[in-house]
Structure 1
Amino acid sequence: MYHVPCRYEQNYVTSTLDGLPCSDTTLSGTLGYLANILYNSNNIDCAGGPVTTAMEVEVGEQLCEMIGYETYNTHKPWVHITCGGTIGNIEALWAAQNIKFFPLVVQKVMTENPGLISFPDDEASIFYQIYDTEKVSFQNITEVSIWNAINMDIDCTVDMAKSIGNHMNGEKFNKLIDKYSLSSLGWYNFMKMYKLEEAPVVICSAACHYSLLKAMVLLGLGKDQLIQVPTDEHDRLNAQELDKTLSDCVERKIPVISVVSIQGSTEFGAMDPLEDIIILREKYMKKGLYFSVHVDAAFGGYFSCILRENNDLSISQDNPEEKWVDSMLSNYTRNQLNFLKMADSVTIDPHKYGFVPLSAGAICYRNGLMKHFVKLKASYIDHGFNESMGIYGIEGSRQSAAVVSVLLSHNVIGLDKCGYGIILEHCLLGSKMMYCNWLTIAKDEDNFVCFPVMPLPKGTTLEYAKTFIKKFITGKSFEDITQTKNTLEFLRGIGSDTVMTPFLVNFKTGDVLNDNIEKCNKLNVEIHRRLSLVNTRQNNKRKPLSAT
């Protein structure tokens, strides 16, 4: 672990540099959790948690601001806390799936119930912009083709539900919609009724979290409908391969529910090219194929704090221990974080790099009305007129200690480059130092070699990197490293996009390096076994390596 001082608390925050993100928690986060768990309030409803429900709304607003969602635009964002990123990812795909096929249901209701909804002759809300082979037209929802109906953008679909609901009794409309909806019919009957020939897919990178496979199973889509696009040498989704996959979907008329961008993969800390994904969404929308963009930023979401300026004049900026201002974020990573605000939904885990106690995840919707597509009320609860979190998403009863923990930690530390930002900068620096360590740990006379998984920057040779590390980094003080621009520039260019530093070991005989993959894999599995705590009866102090 790499210990970093937190300016706002009299303790040390720690972050692991590889493997499962597991860290010490902030004092404020722990205090907030313990204070609330004593009262066991339930955020299923504002009556069960009147104070903590308001706190959850506030936490949501903070997270929206952190990732760049505009809280005062036409489509106001919305967030709720979950027990973790897995639930957030499943819910995001659930919402995207229901929104994707909603226009088909509206079309059927209006076609089979003529005169049910009376629109003025000049009512624009029943006409929608349709892209078809680069041509744009405005069509009445009752006349739109099946393919075009399932390829409307999210805001258009959400506005459709709102505008039609304004012209008729909401309860009657909802009953008709529910009768023909995917939620009521199930996939087999829905595809049969609407004459859908190709099952829909979700697209992600091969480095995706296994929660996406869980989502595909639970939503009834099936694991085979999750298309995993190959990654590049940096373990990021290959945008060129994604382009080919989308082109194939257009040609074969395969509905794409969502493209998922991983911002901080579990194994590699890699950030997919979100900017390219957003560009491809615009490209294929003009070809008649639309998909939502969901971002799994459970791991990397909090790194957005590094991009945010601190505007609190009451906080002193003159602490000599914090004169280090050169960010360890690469320009690539910084750019992907800037595009989070363009995604339709984002999963974030405060219990990872928000450093609060388990379990605390969050699902953020750019258009807050998306929450109504995963809404189910309990008949035995009077949800009242205030915000009730439990009617949306997967979880019903929800402990609120995580909410208080996150809110207090946010308010004490700050979601900007002078708060969480400086903590994460230290974590980034620590991971770069570990990368240097793996690269130089083996001496020439040793019978093994060690390589970080992430390649060196283009144009940087292995010999140059080793020489530079031994001369300017190994054994140098924190001040020497952070005050030398050439050193900082070198460190910024190496390692993963975030803080993971995976490595592999191979053996050699003399100067001959082993070229048998199976033997190399066996060696690394054995190293992992010997350094891992595999059961509760083992004493971790008897392990030959302790990274602390």
Structure 2
Amino acid sequence: MSKSNELAPFFLGAYAENNSVFESIWLEFYREHVSWRRGFHPEDEPPIKADVQFQPQYLQSIAKTKQSLHKLSAKLRQSVPFYHPRYIGHMSSDLLMPGLLAQMITTLYNPNNVCADAAPVTIDLEVKYGEKLANMFGFNTVPQHFPCAFGHLTSGGTVANYQAVWYAKALKYYPLALQKGLANFADFTLTLNQHPLADHTQWQLFNLPFDQIVQLRIDFFKALQNCTESLRKNILQQVSQARIEHLGPIDFFAQHPGLKQPLLLVPTTAHYSWQKSAKILGLGTQQIVKVATDEKMRICSAELAQLMAKYAEQQQPVLALVGVLGTTEFGTIDPVADMLTIRDSSRAQGLEFFIHIDAAWGGYLSALFRDEQNQLRAYAELKKEFRYFPSPDLYAAFAALSQVESITIDPHKLGYIPFGCGAFVCRNQAARGFMVEDAPYVFTGNKYDSPEPQLGQYIFEGSKPGAVAAAVSVAEEVLPFNAQGLGRLPQLTITATEHFYDRAMSLAKELAPHLQLNIPIEPDTNLICLAINLKGNVNVGRMNKLMERLYDRLKVDPSQPLQNKSFIASSTKILKAYLSKEAASNLCQNLGLDETTLVLDVQQSDQADHLFVLRHTLMNPWLIGEHGNYIDQYLDYLKDLIMQEVVAFSSSK
């Protein structure tokens, strides 16, 4: 059996080949749900009487419902066919049937994972799934060992990124608030690094490592146990009122005049949610520093090191550094190992910051790197399965994930789970204590100093669907996070990407007399871009016009039947602002372009502030198999489109 056929039981299929299996399973568990309803106090009189179901008003309402559903179904036929191998556009594909069925079945029960009272089953599934994500990243999840990780689901990667900033902000400011709140309690002593907390400077307190801040809070609560109840309440109130969450940024910084506003460093390729997080959480977008990328569209380690050295010298606080494990536009992997090395150097200079990895796209590739005992596979063993993947830098990035503070991952991307489902994973579960909110009508028996607060107390969201937790839980049980389980999916799609790369290079040679076809960004994952420039053209603006014409032939057009599309791709822009000077120069040179026409401020028609490229997300497991080779078909089709557009474009010059 081929590798793609091994995955046949897990998807409905491009032609709904598993429709009878899906229908049978759904009907079986729908009937079980009906039995469950009828088994709860069967002695009660059914509220909906049998004779009511034959009355005209009832029948009219049912007919109206069916009519509305028919209208909806007709409209949905215009939806994008994400499930088909001919769709290679955005980060969507067919869904794992175990997860889809689990979500549909559990939706009938409608659990709310805000607390155990509203979701006695699915909240436990969510917490355990978070632990499995943490294990996949190499975090410890054994409670007896410190630190012990935790994870939970969100509505998507955007909210998980918000939570990363929320947690970083709460922890980084806490030591300052603790020092301020204890200032009036001379008899209450708390030590840090063998010195009284009161003796530390603001700079020192803001630059404590993540785990040390967590331990400081633990030590504080242990010390409170030696106080009278009255004194304990008074101290807690003073500390709470000294926190930035109570004071707000204006009053907090007024009380700490020597402290500068901290920065949030992100690569220029970072998702737009980081800008939103700075607005929502009160950091301000001017506190975001966008670090340039190299020609591989990875954060530039050299520039990052220079920035951190400067901030240490200037005593400029840094809240967090964000790396991306699979950028939205290009799928590229930032050098996580380098980021950790730079932090070690900064730490020696007194500058400490948290590291968060936005792995919304690439997080599930970690399954490829894990064996069935959850051990990191050897580089040589993994390398045998591919032609190019993974590069040494990429392997080092995945191996280093266990040392960062927190990670975002999206089950609704390479987890093949229905939208919307993201997740936040943190290396130290004790960090939850900094966030906990009380709500007497929801949470009982768990105060903010409890080691086990309920889920809704320490996450960004409140009410949340337990059906999503059921989906990810069942999917993971069927395809666990290792190379023999879920890892089989990226193994197939990365192999398809490598085939795409080789075929595109062959096509470039074939079309060389007419144009330059180039893969501008070396693919790190199963996402690959193409740029095409006419022979002799040196202007970025003119190249972009050709690319836009090509994309018009490949994009979804709501005014046209989707069946008219042979293939569907997407596009993106490589912005001049993203790139270091060297990277911009190299990209232009590879395409035969005059780099002076790639500018930040467009003044002439032959200029542009970006390179327009075709973008292909290769996450469908049936791109290549016994049924055929959709990669070859697509590139043959693209070749025909290119030649048609070259003729049309040249004549319109």
Query: TM-score range, shorter-chain basis?
Result: 0.7 to 0.9
Equivalent residues of 2:409, 2:424 under 8 A apart: yes
Q: 1:163 aligns to what?
A: 219
Deviations 1:94-118 (A, max 9, x none): 1101111111101111112322x3x
Q: 2:168 aligns to what?
A: 96
Deviations 1:40-88 (A, max 9, x none): 1000011010100111111011111111001122121111111111111
In structure 2, the CA distance between the partners of 1:151 and 1:546, relative to structure 1 (3 Å rule), is: closer
Matched letter for residue 265 of structure 1: T
CA displacement at 1:497 relative to structure 2? 1.3
Local SS of the residue matching 2:136: helix
Identity %: 27
Deviations 1:139-198 (A, max 9, x none): 321110111111011111111111111222565444222211111111111111111452
Matched letter for residue 266 of structure 1: T
Equivalent residues of 2:89, 2:568 under 8 A apart: no
Equivalent residues of 1:29, 1:356 under 8 A apart: yes
Is 1:531 aligned to residue 554 of structure 2?
Answer: yes
Q: Distance in 2 between matches of 1:59 and 1:15?
A: 29
Q: 2:590 aligns to what?
A: none
TM-score (norm 2): 0.69
Which of residues 61, 69, 72 in structure 1 aligns to 2:139? 69
Which of residues 191, 199, 204 in structure 1 aligns to 2:261? 199
Query: What are the within-5 Å matches in structure 2 for residues 91-170 of structure 1?
Result: 91-115=163-187, 117=188, 119=189, 126-129=190-193, 138-168=194-224
CA displacement at 1:446 relative to structure 2? 5.9
Deviations 1:320-350 (A, max 9, x none): xxxx845832332221111110000011111
Q: Distance in 2 between matches of 1:219 and 1:43?
A: 24
Q: Distance in 2 between matches of 1:171 and 1:402?
A: 40
Q: 1:38 aligns to what?
A: 108
Q: 2:525 aligns to what?
A: 498
Query: What are the within-5 Å matches in structure 2 for residues 233-252 of structure 1?
Result: 233-252=295-314
In structure 2, the CA distance between the partners of 1:222 and 1:522, relative to structure 1 (3 Å rule), is: farther
Q: 1:406 aligns to what?
A: 472
Which of residues 505, 509, 520 in structure 2 aligns to 1:453? 520
Which of residues 270, 288, 304 in structure 2 aligns to 1:226? 288
Q: Distance in 2 between matches of 1:249 and 1:79?
A: 32
Q: Distance in 1 between matches of 2:131 and 2:8?
A: 22
Q: 2:9 aligns to what?
A: 9
Query: What are the within-5 Å matches in structure 2 for residues 18-57 of structure 1?
Result: 19-57=89-127
In structure 2, the CA distance between the partners of 1:173 and 1:403, relative to structure 1 (3 Å rule), is: farther
In structure 2, the CA distance between the partners of 1:199 and 1:445, relative to structure 1 (3 Å rule), is: closer
Moved more, 438-447 or 186-195: 438-447
Unaligned runs of 5+ in 2: 15-82, 375-383, 447-451, 570-629, 631-653
TM-score (norm 1): 0.82
Moved more, 374-383 or 62-71: 374-383
Q: Distance in 2 between matches of 1:251 and 1:18?
A: 47
Q: Distance in 2 between matches of 1:144 and 1:10?
A: 57
Deviations 1:487-519 (A, max 9, x none): xxxxxxxx41111101111112xxxx2110111
Deviations 1:408-461 (A, max 9, x none): 00110121111111211111011112222333335347633321122xxxxxxx
Matched letter for residue 4 of structure 2: V
Q: 1:425 aligns to what?
A: 491
Moved more, 71-80 or 525-534: 525-534
Q: Which has the higher contact order (CA 8 A, sep 6+)?
A: 1
Q: 1:458 aligns to what?
A: none
- From the CA coordinates, give the structure whose radius of gyration is larger: 2
Equivalent residues of 1:415, 1:421 under 8 A apart: yes
Equivalent residues of 1:46, 1:387 under 8 A apart: no
In structure 2, the CA distance between the partners of 1:389 and 1:538, relative to structure 1 (3 Å rule), is: farther
Q: What is the aligned length?
A: 474
Local SS of the residue matching 1:241: helix
Which of residues 140, 150, 154 in structure 2 aligns to 1:82? 154
CA displacement at 1:265 relative to structure 2? 0.7
In structure 2, the CA distance between the partners of 1:384 and 1:441, relative to structure 1 (3 Å rule), is: farther
Unaligned runs of 5+ in 1: 120-125, 130-137, 313-323, 455-494
Q: 2:545 aligns to what?
A: 522
In structure 2, the CA distance between the partners of 1:162 and 1:236, relative to structure 1 (3 Å rule), is: same
Local SS of the residue matching 1:351: coil
Q: Distance in 1 between matches of 2:182 and 2:84?
A: 55
CA displacement at 1:311 relative to structure 2? 4.8
Query: What are the within-5 Å matches in structure 2 for residues 79-478 of structure 1?
Result: 79-115=151-187, 117=188, 119=189, 126-129=190-193, 138-168=194-224, 172-311=234-373, 325-326=385-386, 328-385=389-446, 388-442=454-508, 443-444=510-511, 447-454=514-521
In structure 2, the CA distance between the partners of 1:19 and 1:545, relative to structure 1 (3 Å rule), is: closer
Q: Distance in 2 between matches of 1:377 and 1:425?
A: 45
Q: Distance in 2 between matches of 1:106 and 1:244?
A: 32
Equivalent residues of 1:347, 1:362 under 8 A apart: yes
Q: Distance in 2 between matches of 1:155 and 1:161?
A: 10
In structure 2, the CA distance between the partners of 1:196 and 1:8, relative to structure 1 (3 Å rule), is: farther
CA displacement at 1:229 relative to structure 2? 0.7
